[in-house]
Structure 1
Amino acid sequence: MRVLLVEDEPEMAAALATALRDHDMVVDLVADLGLAEEALRIATYSAVLLDRQLPDGDGLKLIPKLRASGLQTPIIVLTARGEIADRVAGLDGGADDYLSKPFAIAELLARLRAVLRRPGDLPDETLKLGRLAYDGAHRQASVAGVALNLPRRELLVLEALLRRAGRTVARSVLDDAVYGFDDEIQSNALDTHVSRLRRKLADADAGIEIHAIRGIGYLINSQS
């Protein structure tokens, strides 16, 4: 899951980004509305976490503009303004949820899961292929009921492939699923993640294969 975090307060931004990454999310962090618009033009996100009080304006003013452009990505507004009138303004403006600061990370994660359950965007379902099952809600892979412990980026590669099982997934799509704007990417990093993932799936007898499609990307399917 790739999330855009729009927050200008450095300590809050760093804490939120770290917590989300600890829960296997790719996080792009920007500090104002202009950068948020630019990020949304060039990347696809599962959700947007949007602060209200930003250097170049109220975050709420961005939401109608995004909705008018056709963007349906779930947006959760994060703000110190907790009055009912502020919450109503946020929801009426097109936000999917409104969370008042301070809040617990567990609550934010629960709100994210909730907004992502809407029809057409269901990351919480269990994906199955071969003997492997992937629990989208808890980001846990297992083979025949036995947990398969994978590092964050290998897990993100697996999820991106499983959601497109039987189809070739371009390298650029996998890069977007695994890396944020600020991540340093070595030229062979993706291939290394796939190689390690492929070996672990084979060792666990998962009954699935990952094929390299030369010059394009990768494809996952069940063993014939």
Structure 2
Amino acid sequence: MRLLFVEDDGDVAETLTAYLERQGFVVDRAETLAIAQDALLGNEFDLVLLDRLLPDGDGVSLIGYATAQRRPQRFLLLSALAGIDDKVTGLELGAHDYIAKPFEPRELVARIRAALRHDLRKTRETRRFGPILHDVEGGGFFVNDAPMSLRRTEALVLAALMARDGALVRREALETRVYGYDKFVNGNSLESIISRLRKVLATKTEAVKILSVRGVGYQLTKGG
């Protein structure tokens, strides 16, 4: 089994690589996201061990990159970011597993072997609108391959808008998507979600806007 180990700490990378090779794995190493991206494009790996705190960005952006390039991959995140929110974010963006540093090497090998038992799809359904990529299967959103963190309600609305690819989505359809068919919905609830979603998008890109059609619904439009 061939692994790509993305880690910028040379001592950690060398020690763990030697251990994994003794367990029968072939290990290629990358110290930065840029090197890892080139490696994914030019090679086939069974699994990527991925640190988050890399010199040129958050390691989870490699998941979005692989999805955008249609290079399906198993990812196992290794990180000193050990909070529950960090773990949930990594898993929701498509990682197969998340291990907080420090960890026991034997546990890592067990987790690798467990991840390798997951079928690796040759294709993964995605949608794109401008620079925004939606990994439909995993549920994650990326802007220019960088992860975008959204609340559940915001993610549901953006997914519904992206599914229509710029066409108008009636507010009733969005409310049903978020709250279900049989819930009473306050008239301002959807507007609040849209307002928060607009603020998040504004911090990530100027290329996509949410257009309101008064009294009817909303649609995505490509901005400047």
TM-score by length of structure 1 reads 0.52
8 Å contact kept, 1:75–1:96: yes
Please list the CA deviations of residues 47-106 of structure 1 after superposition, one character each: whole Å capped at 9, or x if unmatched. Answer: 000000001001012212212322222100110011100000101111111010000111
Q: Any idea what SS the aligned residue of 1:115 has?
A: helix
- Equivalent position SS for 1:98: strand
Query: 2:2 is matched with which residue?
Result: 2
Q: Which runs of 5+ in 1 are unaligned?
A: 122-224
- Look up the match of 2:65: 65
Q: What's the counterpart of residue 34 of structure 1?
A: 34
Aligned to 2:82: 82
CA contact (8 A) 1:75 1:95 kept: yes
1:46 is the counterpart of 2:46: yes
Q: How far apart, CA to CA, are the structure 2 residues paired with 1:36 and 1:75?
A: 12
After superposition, give the CA deviation of every residue in 1:104-141 in whole Å (9 maximum; x if it has no partner): 111111111111111368xxxxxxxxxxxxxxxxxxxx
SS in 2 for 1:95: coil
Question: How many equivalent residue pairs?
Answer: 121
8 Å CA contact 1:67, 1:94 repeated in 2:
no
AA partner of residue 63 (structure 2): I
User: In 1, Cα distance between the equivalents of 2:59 and 2:120?
Assistant: 26
Does the residue aligned with 1:72 lie in a helix, a strand or coil?
A: coil
Contact 2:50 2:77 in 1 (8 A): yes
Work out whether residues 51 and 79 of structure 1, in 8 Å CA contact, stay in contact via their aligned partners in 2. Answer: yes
Larger Rg: 2
**Within 1, Cα distance between the matches of 2:16 and 2:67?**
25
> 1 or 2 for the larger relative contact order (CA 8 Å, sep ≥6)?
1
Q: Which residue of 2 aligns with 1:12?
A: 12
**Identity, % of aligned pairs?**
43
Task: State the Cα deviation string for residues 125-167 of structure 1 (Å, max 9, x = none).
Answer: xxxxxxxxxxxxxxxxxxxxxxxxxxxxxxxxxxxxxxxxxxx
Aligned partners of 1:71, 1:84: CA distance in 2, in Å? 28
Query: Partner amino acid for 2:75?
Result: I
1:118 equivalent in structure 2: 118
SS in 2 for 1:29: strand
Could you tell me which runs of 5 or more consecutive residues in structure 2 were left unpaired when the two chains were aligned.
122-224
CA RMSD of aligned residues (A): 1.3
Give the whole-Å Cα distance in 1 for the aligned partners of 2:30 and 2:119. 28
AA aligned opposite 2:12? M
> 2:94 — aligned with what?
94
